[in-house]
Structure 1
Amino acid sequence: MAKRRTVIDSDNEQSGQEGSSSAVKRPRLDAEVEDRSQHRSSKSKSKGKGKAKDDNDILNDIRVDDDDDIATVRDAHAEEDEGAQERFEEEHEESVRESIRQRNRHQGGVAKFGIIEAVEMHQFMCHKYLTFKFGPQINFIIGHNGSGKSAVLTAITVALGGKATATGRGNGLKAFIREGQPAAEVSIHLKNQGEEAYKHDLYGDSIVITRRFTKEGSSSYKIKGKDGKLISTKREELSAICDHMNVQVDNPMNVLTQDAARQFLSSSHPSDKYKFFLRGTQLSQLSEEYETCLENISQTSKVLMRKKEAIPDLQAHYKEVLTRFEEASKAREQRHKADELKKELAWAHVASKQDEVTEKATEVHKLQQRIPKIQRSLDEADTKFEAATAAVQTYDREHENLGNIDHLHERKKDLTETMRTNRTKLSELKADERSISDNLSNTKSAIQKMESRLEVEKARLAEYSRSKQDELNQRLQEAILSVQAAETDLKQSTELIRDKGEEADSLRRQGDGVESEIQTARNAVMGLQEQIQRCTEQKNNSLAPYGRDIKKVLERIGGMRWHGQKPLGPIGIYVKAKDRVWTSLLRNILGGHMASFVVTDGRDLPVLKKLLRESGNPNTSVFVSEVDLFEYRDGEPDPKYPTVLRVIDVTDEFVLRILINQAKIERTLLAPTRKAADDLLSGLNGGGQCLTADLWRVQRFNDGGGQSQPMQPLKPGDPRSLLFTGENPETQLRYWREKAADAEKTLHELNSRLDEMRDSYRKMQREIEERKAWMFPRQRRDIDRQLNELRATRDSLQTEVNDNVPVETSGLDEALREMITEKESFMAQFESIAEQKAVIDRAQEPLLKELNDVKKQIDAFGDRRQEAQAQITQAAEQRLAAQSEQQYWAKKLRDEQKKVQDAQEQLDVVQAEFENWTAGAEQYCARVDNPRKVQVVQRNLDSVQAALKERERRQGASVEEMTAEVNRARTALETAQRDLKSMASLNRALKQSLRLRLEKWHDFRRHIAFRCKVVFQYHLSNRGYFGKVLFNHHDGTLQLRVQTEDLNGTQGETRDKDPRSLSGGEKSFATICLLLAMWESIGSPIRCLDEFDVFMDAVNRRISMKMMIDTANSSDGKQYILITPQNMQNIHVGPTVRVHRMSDPERGQGTLAGGTSAA
């Protein structure tokens, strides 16, 4: 039998047009149900021989469904509005995500029944004997390739009655018998505890199922209790156990082999994935069973249609004999009966109107009962809004009270500069210390030489030659003067280079400052040019200050349909400044609101935001607010104080309320200057805040303190500069062009000044380079060489004088004393430098401590400001949400009150008609209790009156003969009608039942598919991926799209990957995510998965393992058996995890240890 299409809706996220072509037939079914109800309500009672149903009513009341009706049941949900699917997902998405979060925080319990306690294998596949004892929640089976891990899943499938082909390991049971053995046996122990245990009195706490199969092809079962007693050997008992425990051994999602897991994503077609989804969730089984029911109902309907075709002949015969009988026996009663029917008809109309009054009164009562509940919701929303508003105001005050820390930054700068200066001094002192140390060493050496020489000179004094001494002294004096001149020249050049370098540095710093001024001036020129361009645009487009293409945006808004009123905006077209003195301040505090729009229904917000983004205005604000023209004057200060509201004109009352709610314009005080603001606040009790026209924010606290903060002025190119001008575009354009000319002039002057400074700097650099060229590097060596030669000549002459000319020992003594004095001087300088270094070191310590304290204060202030800003943002969002909720309930209350009023007016009209009809009926005749329906009475009255006109034509047999013939005809007709009606009613009941079951089936599929989408996305996010599960129920396809982190990081645009294009690790990870999502939808307590991580890298495997362990821990009553060839290193396992390690590939291992909680 071909499987029919049972899908209702389409989850196809790629095309919104598919599945919308065929007509929905559900309205036809509703009309048929209503038609049957009308026929049932129009039945009339038979009164023995003189009473019978109207033939047409009887025939119409027996309705048999034709093939179109059966097709209607099939196709009642073949199409579904895509918008309804989107609304369904929007309504349930948050609840599904919340359930996932709650589940992740929940520790799942251990199943009382249905999980595997142990598995035993004898001569099975590669194992001579092997046994496992599984943990109740998570079990990992690890081992090298070829160790026989997959045999465990095969044994579980075979023991629970699964097909051999489902394991992917062989075509028959004989393939599982160990080579060289005649038979194999597998046993499985199922937990059987708790209140829902299966036949606990027979089996006890465990059910042991043993399956034995031989090479000859025979297979047998033994089902035992915990005590080993044999209970049954029937396959039906095993099926009953699996059904009771919801163990679905042939379900591909319960036991997924490694071949199926490897090929699932890479090679399966979208339709195969969809069939896999239906099979795994058991929806396909229900669909096939419902198809069978529909076919049977269709066949029954065809049989009933053939039987119905015979009813008119029986009705015609009965009508014929009944007419003859009535003509013979009831002619005398017709007139009296007509009179009674007229009376009944009058009171039937009254009863009908009374039913209508009761229905209207019930409707009014139900509507009135809804009002208090809505009012309570509105009161709660008002309370939330007031609390949110108070929170925003509190956080605003706290943020403003933080003040600023400019003094700390200044102190930090001063301390840093001071410490840098001290370090420079220390470096200079260390250099001086090294120089003094060298000089001290030279002086000590010279003293020793001088003392030795003094002794020698005293001995040679007698041999001194006067004439030779004069010549040597003259040459010595010339050498000394040459040395002094060279040293003086070198010193002057060094000092000149240093002075010129300092002047060049000063000039360079001045040039840097001028360059900064030039950049500022250049930015100002560019901003003014942008402003001139905006003014030019404003000349042709008055809406230019409010954004790009605002005129086109307004035209599109006017041509669209909105849930609420047409969006209002930009707000700035309704606001004008009264006095130019306040325009700069107004641009600063209200400029951000002037380009905003307002919608009255929250559903219009995303539509308008999208429209603004498309027009190039993504940052334009959109407020959501109902049109509430509330009274605001109670919140204004004394009239003598200027406020923002009092210095502007707002032409729209709704816009005025928006600015009051968003910017507090009715209570924000203004002053022309900072001093005036300070004086104004000083006269107020309790302090407050005031804004000034010269852009200062002045604040005074309750304790008398206060602070003033400058407000950031607008940059020249800021679009808000065009607001509140109050001038025509020509005047503004002229103003900005004059400012641009001034700015360009300033820029030119700065450039000229910079060129002059650069010339001076280059000239000074040339002088320095010339000096350096003379001194450095080779020239300096030449100078040093010449100086050294002069010094050597001087020393040589001095030596010659000392050798050849006797000297006065008093001169040498004087030189020795000078050297000793110079040595003592160096020692004193050395001690002085050491003291200076100690003083600087001591001074650095408190400076460093203070600098660290200042840095900590700056960091702490930044943290407080950031925290305060976050609190303000969060409170503002909560206030907006509370305001939307308040507006929603206010509108809801008005709507419900209008409904009550309308229903009450309808009730009054119907009540008046009922009273008039009752008075008329009482005048016509006495009251008739329990009258029949108006249609029934009218039909009988027409029939009686027609019979009166034809009474003279009555002829035929006797009354007794006619009575017998009428009885026979009536019996035959009623028997056929009763049988046909009962079968048709049964068939309709079956069809209605099937329709309800199909609706439930579609609801199940919708919920399961949607939860699968959400859970799949949630698991992918653990790896930083993003993906989608695309269901197309109309075409029966399931597609995956995965966006990996490499796409996010390297490509310019996001693009989803098909699973076949994923890497091995990514594909395996996506498989795990999809399986975990689908496992959410099945009720079986066992989940088995083979070699899920064979292609995974370390990162994907670690995340997948953690994700699977977390999912298993949060699942109630579920057991996981997972096989992997990898080890469990770097994987955290808890007490709920049991790891079973297989031995290296060896055939013939014995009992495997029960496992531990870690590998």
Structure 2
Amino acid sequence: MRSTKRARIANQPDNPESARLEEHARSSKKQKTNASEPDPTIDEPGTDSDEDAIYFEQSQRLVTSTLNPRENEPADYGTIELIRLENFMCHSCLEMKFGPFMNFVVGQNGSGKSAVLTALTLCLGAKAAVTNRGGNIKSFIKEGEHMAAVEVHLRNRGDGFRKEVYGDTVIVQRTFNRDGVNSYKTKSKSGKTISTSKKELSDIIDYMSLQVDNPMTVLSQDLARQFLSNSSDEDKYKFFMKGVQLDDLYALYQNLKGQQSVIESVLESKDEDIRELEEDKEKAEKRFRMLKETENLRHNVRDLLLKLAWAQVADKEKLLDTIKNEIAGLEQAQLELQKTSEDVEKDIKTWDQKVEEAQAAVRSSSESNSPLNEKRKELEEKLNTEAEKLARVQQSERTADQQMKAIKARIDKAKRDAEAEKERLADAEGGKHASLLKEKEQLIEKKSQLSREQSELETSLETEATTVSSTTAKAHAAIDALKRKERDLQTAKETLQNLTSGHSNNLSVYGQNTQVLLKSIEKSKWKARMPIGPVGLLVKLKYQNWSSILEKQLSRVLSGFVAFSLEDKDQLMNLVHENGCDHSVFYSSPNSFRLKEPADGYLTIMRALEIENEDVRRTLVTTYNIEQTILVEDHVEARRTMEACPENVKGCYSLNRQRRGNGFSIRMGQGSGGVDPIIGHTGPSRIATNVEEQIRVAQENVNALEGDLSNEQSKYNVLRHAVEISKNKIQQYTTKKHTLRTDIQRIEDKLEELVGKLQQNNTETQLGKLESAIEVHEDSYKKYVGQQQDIANDKQRHIAMENELKSQIETLRSQINESESQTKVLQAAHSSAIQQRERAVLKQSELLQKLHQQKISISDREARMTEIEQGLPGMKKEAEEVGPRVNLRTKETAAEMESRLEQLNSQLEKRDARIGASTEQIAKDFADKTEKYNEAGKEREDLKNLHKALNRAFEERMERWFYFRKHISVQSRLQFHLLMSEREFDGKLVFDHTNGILQLKVQPTQQATDTQRNAKTLSGGEKSFSQICLLLALWEAMGSPFRCLDEFDVFMDAVNRGVSMGLIVYSQSFKEILSV
């Protein structure tokens, strides 16, 4: 698609737009050559010759580009192809496709046009506050819906972003719901999810320059109104700086300036350190100059050295004989140590194997704890919920108590008034009435007491019933666990028995009469060659933990035979039936086949087996796809792997950590429908392996299960006894409840009789009224008592539920503790094996150390002997050089002479101490401090150079930043002037970078007498047209592949709207425009 206006301008040599551009260029050139005639379009404060040059250069370039328009081709990447909304704002489901250039979204007010731009902004990573349409992301979900989704398709052709992964379209999807869950997905053109990370979205936005948070890129409805009607000069300048991203670049350079301040503070600290190092250097140099030698003492040392030299010669001669005797003894001891070391090495290998076995058992036990811990966490969450409910019930109970207290107070007051009335009547009637009242009160009190006992009894009954229910549930769970343990134990014993029986006759594990069948095969004649089998004899397993799973899944082939022609297959099947066998027969084609295996990181069945026979390999591949079935121990990891759909993987097996020897088969990459349990093989192994090791493992499993069965039986017995006790209590409480009910009914009958008598005597008396009031209040009190009883029952129910949950949690904790105890037992065995191995290793290390020391000792002595033999003549020669051989006194040995020499050296050291240190120490101290001083000076110089380099870099970048700002300002001024001329307006932009002001000055006509006016003095249409020209001028400095406008023409008349729309179509013909 090509812009028609641009094409018309390119084909007309007398185009008024080209004429204006040429005239403007000539005016700019004239401005450079004649300073006395200022350019009417460039009157910005501070305009210098650089801006004139830039202005002229850009004018010429614009003339050239206008006269020679290029093809109107869409951008390779970054433009919007499609937007899809689901439950977003007012849209239930909306999908809009867009072209690569001009796009219009039209509709009635309130139809949701602006929602499209809001969805675009949010989907590409912007925050909710940027849109001015909502405070948070949840506010954009359609009323009555729980979730919303927005999807944007971005063009990705040419040098697009990771084109080999995404293809020609990048799909960005953002999903959010009212619970606050918010997620991103980036997909390829085919819809495959590539990433769910927001960082990937940020990389896409940066690569395609999608400036969604830039107000110039997406001019929303509110920003359009503010920009077109109420924006001040300062707002326009800020809009300009943020739109062309000069603000972000300036902040980055200021951070570099801050680094310079840090370096300056470090330099100040370095100067103080150098002054201290210089003082230390001067002190060391002064001590070095004060050093003097002492020659007299050293002369005595030289005399003693002569005697010592000949004494050492004599000692060496004696030492030579001693060393020869020691070498002979050491060589004999070395032979004995070598024999002991070989024995210990065998022990180490034995313990290595035991450590590996114990470690595998510990790992298996530890993994079984995970489901129990998850169940415990679930019950603890339920317990917290019950605790909250109980707190609410307790609050209701307190409220009812307060109401009952108030009613009780009214009852007490009425009773006091009735007592007074009774006394009055007793005096009047001679005491008969009082006697009846007293008897009535006694009966009422007795009834209340029995009612309380009845209420307490009902509470006890409910408590015991709850206890029976919870304890019975626990007992049922315990007996289920007990039965499972019995089944597991029976299976383990059968496995052990099968292994034991199979150990005596290996061929029996492949089926009945296998030996007879093999003899028949050997005697028969075959067309191709003799069949091979059973296949299990030709296969070896590398990993023992997969034995039961692979034995189960490969069962038919392991017990079967392989024939090499179809005739041989039929003949072999007849032999199988004749000998009463149940073996499968497979045909191995001579044709070659090519394996399609997954990556090396996956353990397949074929990689877990050692198969030397190529025909056996071909049979297993064609029957079970062993080269494309992977083995993953952890079930969750296996599911995750299959959901990724790895290449050349058709199936996966994983282990069941809860049931040893069982597992799962995963046939597809996604969903749970492809997951089936695998009941592992329990009989003797048919794959060539170590049968003794299997028997040992099976026996350990039987022993462990017997212990678990005993523990489960004890738990069940305890729970059963508790249930019987609670049932006996319920029976007792029920009998007592019937008795109390009978007693209460009897008292109520007597009360009814007494009330009749009292009513005859108290007709129309004040006492009757008071007693009626008491009865009313007592009825209300009874209602609250009933309500209180309901609350109490509810409270008891919640307490019972809470106790039940606590009991279940405690049971789980017991199971976890039991499992952890079992793990600790295994860990103890593992630790014991490690300790035994470490002792053996330590012993071996000690022996090797001793051997090494022996060798060193022998070597040292031999070397010493050789050294003495070779050095003795030299020592004599050196001694002769010191002086002639002297006669030593009998008791004067070389050691004594060395002692005397040490005393003389000690005197020399004391002499040196008076100076402060020895000659060597003083010299070394002086050299070290000089070196530190020089190094510190070099570091300071390096920091100074770095500071200067950073300062130069900052100044150069700021200079370029100012030049860049100047370049963009000039370009915006030029574009604004040309766009305003579309309506024969003379407009210009006045930039005041110092004060941060951007002014629009417009001359509505081209008449020379008109004066330019500020934008505030323009009419509404002129002002809106000027603001649109400003927006288009600033757009030229942007790199975003698309621009969005929302009701930009709200203040325009028909004429301005038409011209403005033409300008947008013409000036932005190479960009994608979304106009609402």
**Which TM-score applies when normalising by structure 2?**
0.36
Higher relative CO (Cα under 8 Å, sequence separation at least 6) belongs to 1
